[in-house]
Amino acid sequence: MDSHSNSDFPASGRALVVMGVSGSGKTDTSHAVADALGFRHIEADHFHPEENVARMRAGTPLSDADRVEWLQKLVVEMQRAIDDDVGFVLACSALKCRYRDLLRDAVPALRFAHLSIDYDTAIKRVGGRAGHFMPISLVDSQFATLESPEGEPGVLVVDASQPREQVLEEIVDWMHREPGLEISEREGLSAAPLDSANSEAGKGAELTGSPIYSGKLALGFDRITDWLMAALLAFMVIVVFSSVVLRYAFGTGWTGAEELSRLAFVWLVFVGVASSMRRGELMAFSMIRDRFPHLLRRLVDSVSWIMVAVASALAAMGGWNQMQFGWTINSPVVGYPLAVAMVPVAASMVALTVLALIQLVNVWRRQPPLPIAEANVTAD
């Protein structure tokens, strides 16, 4: 398989973690992927302090405190590769969702290739390894700790019991695709936006980027906006459908249906904009930007996010002023204050301003603070 220049890959295709339980073949597979792509290889095992290695040799699982220094070293190595403007492949177990989120916080464009394997095969492989510090007794804890990453953004699940060449081909082929394509391909759903950029024949602008932030706050924000959009869409369907039925079946109608459906549509659009921006799902055109050197890309991104923040703040101020004015004016049919239509405008523009500022910080952020209680990454 031919190796590829780092310039052949967008930022979202130049950072990969090959993950899985011990015995899944992370080391061999990650080395082969790094060689095939021309990327730097980072082996997580090499960054364990001697004390950690001694504990694992004795069959003692590591504590949270034991893993903090190790995780910090991995973050530093990933950032070093980014600073050197080279792609990298990190071989690391990353068995729990919050562990993967910590790595994503350090490198937002990070992808994960999960080498899925059954328990018996893992035991057989670990038992047949010579000179490695992971004893068979710790394989049980690995499977007990594993939280499947399937369904998370930027994750490919590969059957690691296949021949190594087939596993390598799947991962390398996936790294050349735009993020998000693997979901629709694996599930057979038409969840991707209908745009030529989502097909192999039309790889142009990326429609999906990395989420601006993650964690419980992000999940709560997504849950609120998703339920609100679903409620608004259901309300629009009920209002319009009932109006049509009344008009054609009973010869009457609901005069306020059109006005209320327009109001719901305004809310739906602006709530959707805030939700899509958090998830990184707004359309972006980065063909020229991706050709710039690393530092210049950061400067371009910074200017872009400053412009987004300023424009959103101005729109939020305009929405607030319209709200103040609209409380004194009622809609002509239903009679609700017109200020109600401006509430989502002001709220979503405030959200966009905050999100743009967070992303501006992310552009220049190096090593994020590591919460000790969450820095519990299971050793390979």
Q: What is the pLDDT along the chain (380 residues), one digit of tens a residue?
A: 444 445 455 455 689 999 998 888 888 999 999 999 999 999 987 887 777 677 666 666 666 666 677 778 888 899 999 888 899 999 988 888 877 888 888 888 899 999 998 888 888 777 655 444 455 566 777 788 888 898 888 899 999 888 889 999 999 999 887 665 444 444 443 344 434 333 333 333 344 456 777 667 877 888 898 899 999 889 888 888 888 888 787 777 777 777 888 888 888 888 888 888 887 777 777 778 777 887 888 898 899 989 999 999 999 899 888 888 888 888 777 788 888 888 888 889 999 999 989 888 888 874 443 333 333 334 44
Contact 95/21 with Cβ under 8 angstroms?
Answer: yes
SS3 41: strand
Contact 347/221 with Cβ under 8 angstroms?
Answer: no
Contact 376/99 with Cβ under 8 angstroms?
Answer: yes
SS3 249: helix
For 97-253, where are the alpha helices, taking DSSP H only? 97-106, 119-127, 139-145, 164-175, 181-187, 216-249
Look at phi and psi of residue 101 and say left if phi exceeds 0, alpha if psi is from -120 to 50, else beta: alpha
pLDDT, tens only, 63-100: 666 667 777 888 889 999 988 889 999 998 888 887 78
**21/58 Cα distance (integer angstroms):** 18
